[in-house]
Amino acid sequence: MRKKTSNPIEESSENSTDLSSEIKRLKKQLKIEAALEKIRNRTLLMRDSSELNEAVAVFFQQFQSLDLLPKEARTYFCDIDTDTDIAKVWMTHADGTVMKGSHKTPLTQSASMSQYYKAWKQKKPIMVRNYSGAALSEYLKFVSSLPHVKVDKDYQKLFRSPPKQVVMTDANFLQGNIGIMTFEPLTQEAIDTLTRFAKVFEFTYTRFLDLQKAEAQAREAQIEAALERVRAKALAMHISTDLINVANELREQTVLLGQSDLAGSVIELYEVDPDCIESWYAFRTDGDLDGALRTGILRFAKDSCLVIKEMLSMYRSSENEYTLKAEGRKLKEFYAVMQENLPEVEKVTMPSKEYYHCTDFTGGTLLTSSLLPPSVEAKDLQRRVASVFDLAYRRFLDLQKAEAQAREAQIEAALERVRSRTMGMHKSQELKEVIQIVYEQFVHLNIHIEHTGFIVDYQARDDMDIW
């Protein structure tokens, strides 16, 4: 038997092919690692959830750079909240631009989303949802009902010319998933790469949530410190007029906590007078944002203008927290009423519209005015401040009562001094000593007078004696 001899040229060619394939594979892996590093770097830099838009855009760009993204594909990131059964979604358009902000998708209001939610809870690493025929119609009908979709031109274009199928490929992790929306199934290579992207997202997003938690704790400490300063001002009151210091501190601390658009803070007392309300205010005039606060007390007739009437109506309702909007004639009327009582308001340029957020307490409301609708955080902060202020107002009422009692005691003591001296008189000439005591008691009671006197009219003699 003739022994078969090897062909060195053929062996060399095979080895060269294998080596070339290995080099291509390694280059691809390096390219994937570079893409993962870019995703990792962007997500590690996140300081706010709004930056997830940029992270999703980088996800799109890197997947596209790997030639793994089909035509018309869209990438997305979902944060799933199991308490509310809602997914918060950040998503790109087909050209890689990002949809404005994030949007919320209910997970239990359609069959397609319920199945997706169930699979995610089962912790499946990869889910492929292939919608076609009746399933696609049901899915697109649900998606078209979402508020953000109704105003998105990219989605509207999709609805006008729907594809034969929509494939949603999700790579799951603890907090949610990342995914790609396509009109054809992804290759296995793309799915494997998506799984690796998801692992990077999970690590960096977990770190981001830890940072958010730490920042929330720091923010809470800052709020508590601000509330403590307001509380300290309330407890430091010695007379009722010190309440203006509480209003002042309230505005200062609210601004320090980031409510930069705050125009002013007001404490409205509704029950001190049957016909008027008392407003303890703190604000700054235009162009004087760093200057001293303008503070004081105003009194408004309860029927003086529509804004005041609305405030009183809401205060008497079952609502404890509400935002009123004033513009046009209503705002102009309110500013006119304020200018009648406080000329300094003329230095304030009347805006086109103004928002008054009110949080009630017993006897009145805590009001902040701003040029924009109050944020959720601003409302929460005011709610907590109002709770602290309730302590101040109860203390205020106690002080008023104590002041009235002390004043009555002073008056009674003054009357007793006059009475004692009068009872001790033996002759009319001593009236000059009595009137001296009367004068001294008026001075002691801080009642400013020029003189006091007795007039005794002797009609029989047609004259009078004056002391």
pLDDT, tens only, 332-381: 999 898 888 777 666 677 889 999 999 998 888 988 888 888 888 888 88
Dihedral sign of CA atoms 339, 345, 348, 351 in order: negative
Rounded Cα distance, 172 and 194, in Å: 10
Residue 136 has pLDDT above 50, yes or no: yes
Task: Please give the CATH topology (third level) of the domain spanning 19-212.
Answer: Beta-Lactamase (3.30.450)
Rounded Cα distance, 280 and 341, in Å: 13
Residue 174: CA count within 13 A, CB half-sphere: 10
CATH 3.30.450.40 segments of the chain: 19-212
Q: Give residue-wise pLDDT tens across range 7-49.
A: 665 555 555 666 676 777 677 777 777 777 877 777 777 777 6
Query: Which DSSP string corresponds to 146-206?
Result: SHHHHT-HHHHHHHHS--SEEEEEEEEETTEEEEEEESSPPPHHHHHHHHHHHHHHHHHHH
Q: Give residue-wise pLDDT tens across range 275-314.
A: 999 888 877 665 454 555 677 788 889 999 999 999 999 9
Six-digit token string for 421? 């001296």
Q: If DSSP codes are grouped into helix, strand and coil, which group holds residue 456?
A: strand
Give the CA radius of gyration of the chain: 38
Which burial class, exposed, middle or buried, applies to 123 when counting CB atoms under 10 A from its CB (0-12, 13-18, 19+)?
exposed
Rounded Cα distance, 367 and 360, in Å: 9
Rounded Cα distance, 449 and 87, in Å: 74
Cβ-contact 88, 73 below 8 angstroms: no
Residue 328 has pLDDT above 60, yes or no: yes
Rounded Cα distance, 297 and 92, in Å: 53
Residue type, position 158, single letter: L
Domain boundaries 236-396, corresponding CATH code: 3.30.450
